């Protein structure tokens, strides 16, 4: 009988790293494309994640946490800044200025005082100023909410640890279009790249 994934990884992967000295909350790509029924990217689990994330965002603001939002933006018509990625995933061509599906979800709309970083690829770090911005503010921990778990969350988590950050993913504030890749990627992130925690654990950190 084959071992379960958990028993196979036990004692090898899955060490906990915890929070460092200073954390930033990063909301990854919470855009209407993922929460609008009938849209190609629609994912019901993201709708639930957005609802929970809105409450966490409010608490983070009250606690004075550093907050950063990311979205995806391409040059219309040519999409040349999307490279091979938009050829592999042409559905991403909805992410252009003026398309309602590319707007932030109302529940997590950025304040004018909060930084918005636009990206063209899954990772929030690839080709952006995110790492430099965080390092310049002496931030050593990133807390991730957003979508999708198997795409931009995973890519940001992997790049986050490679840029020297402690990575925390709020399991109840991320979502995907199917539960299997969602669960598999949370398992993998928690095993190798960061800590997958509940929003309650993050709220406790904020209170501290």
Among 1-10, 58-67, 182-191, 194-203, the least confident range:
1-10
Tokens of residue 200, six digits: 């309650």
pLDDT score for 4:
79
**Mean pLDDT, the chain, as a whole number?**
95
137 φ/ψ sector (left φ>0, alpha ψ -120 to 50, else beta):
alpha
CA distance 36 to 124: 23
Query: What's the pTM value of the predicted model, to 2 decimals?
Result: 0.93
Dihedral over Cα of 122, 165, 108, 50: its sign: positive
Q: What is the pLDDT of residues 60-111, one digit of tens each?
A: 999 999 999 999 999 999 999 999 999 999 999 999 999 999 999 999 999 9
Q: What is the pLDDT of residues 160-186, one digit of tens each?
A: 999 999 999 999 999 999 999 999 999
Closest CA to 92 of 70, 107, 69, 76: 76
Give the domains, in start order, of the chain with CATH numbers.
19-72+104-207 (3.40.50.850)
Using CA atoms, how far residue 137 sits from 69, 134, 144, in Å, is 16, 5, 18
Catalytic residues: 152
- Rounded to 5 degrees, what angle do the CA atoms 188, 67, 110 make? 110
Q: What is the pLDDT of residues 105-158, one digit of tens each?
A: 999 999 999 999 999 999 999 999 999 999 999 999 999 999 999 999 999 999
């Amino acid at each position: 009988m084959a071992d379960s994934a958990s028993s196979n990884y036990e004692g090898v992967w899955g060490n906990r790293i915890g929070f460092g000295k200073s954390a930033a909350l990063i909301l990854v790509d919470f855009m209407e494309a993922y929460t609008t029924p009938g849209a190609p990217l629609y994912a019901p689990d993201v709708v639930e994640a957005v609802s929970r994330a809105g409450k966490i965002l409010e608490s983070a603001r009250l606690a004075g946490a550093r907050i950063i939002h990311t979205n995806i933006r391409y040059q219309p018509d040519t999409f040349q800044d999307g490279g091979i990625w938009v050829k592999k995933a042409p559905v991403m061509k909805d992410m252009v200025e003026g398309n309602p599906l590319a707007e932030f979800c109302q529940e997590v709309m950025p304040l004018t005082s909060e930084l918005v970083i636009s990206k063209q690829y899954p990772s929030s770090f690839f080709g952006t100023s995110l790492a430099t911005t965080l390092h310049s503010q002496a931030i050593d921990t990133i807390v991730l909410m957003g979508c999708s778990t198997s795409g931009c969350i995973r890519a940001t988590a992997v790049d986050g640890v490679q840029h020297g950050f402690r990575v925390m993913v709020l399991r109840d504030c991320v979502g995907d279009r199917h539960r299997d890749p969602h669960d598999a990627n949370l398992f993998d992130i928690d095993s190798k790249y960061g800590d997958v925690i509940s929003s309650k654990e993050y709220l406790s950190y904020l209170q501290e």
